């Protein structure tokens, strides 16, 4: 069986985790800050807050930006559920911006139209969450210009994107956003088993997210609001959560960061091999923007929609774990119960009907790709 994605763990990773198991701290020790520093150094951002998963990172990112009841958050319908659910956790409402049919990323044109209309109606969103599908950066310059013009905050969901860049800057540097979120789930670019991180250039946002990660509890004497009762004393200043990352996860993260560039390079080489074999077939390849370097989390192609299901089923029959990223969030039964309907985001729905994710991960071999492409070619010619 060829999976669609898989982690790459080596002996150095294993040793790093075992070393923590033998140390004094399994949680709240030195590895989490070391992992945060490694991501700051890599992306060129000032602050990073490591958490238990990217869903938690999205949640505290929204809260830190002040999202609450009476607010609205906009994201892309072509994403994992968490990009939208995070707003609902804050009591806010969610709405979606339709995608560019070629990339599946939030369309700046749709965003511009929707913002102009929302302004007229007096219901501008507080935050927008563009998602870098497959690791391919959104058109962040235009999105950031629009957000700035309308006074809207931006969280980049870069769950697919660590190691990539846009306009010469690494994803995560927050040049075009207030906060960027990464996921370290095993199928993503680097892994901590479960894990996520929020990066920002803003010290106050970083401090707020660090508080929200750990029960809203302050221990620093200088920040206490009540008289200090003694060295045992700490105080809860807001309603936070237990979203901490463990030392085991952070040690694995530090170790994986050493190979991040290698992983992304390998993913790009494999994508190049796909491209060479697929370019003549009757399909479209979802590709990164010019002036960007994709982390290549997913290799997505678009087929004629009437053929997609048969091709998917036949590929699965051949033990090739193709996938579909994603079923549009607004069509989920839960979101339908909130009032979203078929036809609300036609480009997203069309994109969804055509897409197929082919396997892509650092352990994939050239002859796996040849096998996948030969079968795909045969299936497209006899259907
Ligand atoms: C994986 C993913 C998430 C959630 O990540 P977790 O770490 O599993 O919580 C959020 N958004 C996108 C786009 C993702 O792919």
Q: Read off the pLDDT of residues 160-216 as tens digits, 9 standing for 90 and up.
A: 999 999 999 999 999 999 999 999 999 999 999 999 999 999 999 999 999 999 999
Q: What is residue 283's predicted lDDT score, i.e. its pLDDT?
A: 97
Q: Is the CB of 79 under 6 A from ligand 1?
A: yes
CATH number of 260-382: 3.90.1150.10
Q: Any idea where the domains of the chain sit in the sequence?
A: 11-257, 260-382
pLDDT at 57 over 90: yes
Q: Is the CB of 246 under 6 A from ligand 1?
A: no
Give me the sign of the Cα torsion angle 290, 116, 198, 348: negative
Closest ligand 1 atom to residue 195 Cα is 7
Which tokens hold the place of 211? Answer: 């508080």
Query: Could you read off the pLDDT of 279-307 as tens digits, one per residue?
Result: 999 999 999 999 999 999 999 999 999 99
Q: Is the CB of 157 under 6 A from ligand 1?
A: yes
Q: What is residue 154's predicted lDDT score, i.e. its pLDDT?
A: 98
pLDDT at 383 over 80: no
Contact status, residue 165 vs residue 112, Cβ threshold 8 Å:
no
Contact status, residue 308 vs residue 302, Cβ threshold 8 Å:
no
**Rounded Cα–Cα distance for residues 41 and 174 (Å):** 13
Q: Is the CB of 159 under 6 A from ligand 1?
A: yes
Phi and psi torsions of 228, nearest 5°: -70, 130
Which tokens hold the place of 273? Answer: 């091999």
Contact status, residue 221 vs residue 235, Cβ threshold 8 Å:
no
Burial 69-91 (b: 16+ CB within 10 A, else e): eebbbbbbbbbbebbbbbbbbbe
pLDDT at 6 over 60: yes
Question: Residue 358 forms beta bridges with which residues?
Answer: 299
Q: How far is the CA of 277 from the centre of ligand 1 (A)?
A: 30
Q: Is the CB of 155 under 6 A from ligand 1?
A: no
pLDDT at 382 over 80: no
Give me the sign of the Cα torsion angle 135, 37, 246, 59: negative
Q: How far is the CA of 81 from the centre of ligand 1 (A)?
A: 8
For residue 201, how many other CB atoms are within 10 A of its CB?
17
Average confidence score pLDDT of the chain = 97
pTM for the structure as a whole: 0.98
Q: Is the CB of 71 under 6 A from ligand 1?
A: no
| Residues in CB range of 74: below 8 A, 6 or more apart | 94, 95, 96, 97, 111, 114, 125, 127, 128, 129
Contact status, residue 173 vs residue 45, Cβ threshold 8 Å:
yes
3-class SS letters over the chain:
CECCCCCCCCHHHHHHHHHHHCCCCCECCCHHHHHHHHHHHHHCCCEEEEECCHHHHHHHHHHHCCCCCCCEEEECCCCCCHHHHHHHHCCCEEEECCECCCCCCECHHHHHHHHHHHHHHCCCCCEEECECHHHCCCCHHHHHHHHHHHCCEEEEECCCCCCCEECCEECCCCCCCCEEEEECCCCCCCCCCCCEEEEECCHHHHHHHHHHHECCEECCHHHCCCCCCCCCCCEECCCCCECCCEHHHHHHHHHHHCCHHHHHHHHHHHHHHHHHHHCCCCCEECCCCCCEECCCCCEEEECCHHHHHHHHHHHHHCCECCECCCCCHHHCHHHHHCCCCCCCCHHHHHHHHHEEEECCCCCCCHHHHHHHHHHHHHHHHHC
For domain 11-257, give its CATH number from 3.40.50.880, 3.40.640.10, 1.10.4100.10, 1.10.10.10.
3.40.640.10
pLDDT at 107 over 80: yes
Q: Is the CB of 53 under 6 A from ligand 1?
A: yes
**Rounded Cα–Cα distance for residues 53 and 132 (Å):** 17
Query: Could you read off the pLDDT of 360-373 as tens digits, one per residue?
Result: 999 999 999 999 99
Angle of the 108-121 helix axis to the 140-150 helix axis, nearest 10: 10
Q: What is residue 261's predicted lDDT score, i.e. its pLDDT?
A: 98
Q: What is residue 103's predicted lDDT score, i.e. its pLDDT?
A: 96
Q: How far is the CA of 266 from the centre of ligand 1 (A)?
A: 22
């Amino acid at each position: 069986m060829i999976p669609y994605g898989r982690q790459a763990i080596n002996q150095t990773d294993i040793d790093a985790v075992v070393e923590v198991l033998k140390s004094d701290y399994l949680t709240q020790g030195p590895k989490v800050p070391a992992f945060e520093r490694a991501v700051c150094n890599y992306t060129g951002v000032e602050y990073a807050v490591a958490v238990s998963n990217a869903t938690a990172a999205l949640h505290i990112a929204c809260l830190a930006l002040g999202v609450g009841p009476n607010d609205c958050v906009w994201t892309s319908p072509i994403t994992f559920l968490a990009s939208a659910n995070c707003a609902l956790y804050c009591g806010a409402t969610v709405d979606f911006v339709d995608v560019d049919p070629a990339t599946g990323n939030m369309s700046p044109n749709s965003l511009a139209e929707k913002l102009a209309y929302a302004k007229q109606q007096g219901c501008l969103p507080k935050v927008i969450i563009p998602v870098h599908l497959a690791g391919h950066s959104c058109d962040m310059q235009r999105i950031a210009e629009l957000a700035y013009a309308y006074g809207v905050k931006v969280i980049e969901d870069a769950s697919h994107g660590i190691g990539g860049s846009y306009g010469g800057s690494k994803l995560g540097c927050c040049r075009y956003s207030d906060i960027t979120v990464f996921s370290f789930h095993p199928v993503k670019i680097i892994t901590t088993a479960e894990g996520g991180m929020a990066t920002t250039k803003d010290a106050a946002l970083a401090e707020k997210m660090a508080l929200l990660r750990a029960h809203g509890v302050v221990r620093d004497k200088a920040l206490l609001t009540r008289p200090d009762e003694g060295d045992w004393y700490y105080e809860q200043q807001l309603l936070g959560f237990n979203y901490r990352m463990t030392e085991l996860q952070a040690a694995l993260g530090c170790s994986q960061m050493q190979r991040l560039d290698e992983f992304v390079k390998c993913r790009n080489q494999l994508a190049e091999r796909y491209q060479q074999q697929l370019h003549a077939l009757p399909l479209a390849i979802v590709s990164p923007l010019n002036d960007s370097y994709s982390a290549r989390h997913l290799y997505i192609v678009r087929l004629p929609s009437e053929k997609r299901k048969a091709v998917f089923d036949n590929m699965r029959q051949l033990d090739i774990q193709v996938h579909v990223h994603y079923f549009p969030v607004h069509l989920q039964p839960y979101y339908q119960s909130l009032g979203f309907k078929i036809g609300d985001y036609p480009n997203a729905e069309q994109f969804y009907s055509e897409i197929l994710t082919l396997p892509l991960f650092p352990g994939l071999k050239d002859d796996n790709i040849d096998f996948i492409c030969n079968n795909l070619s045969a299936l497209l010619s006899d259907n």
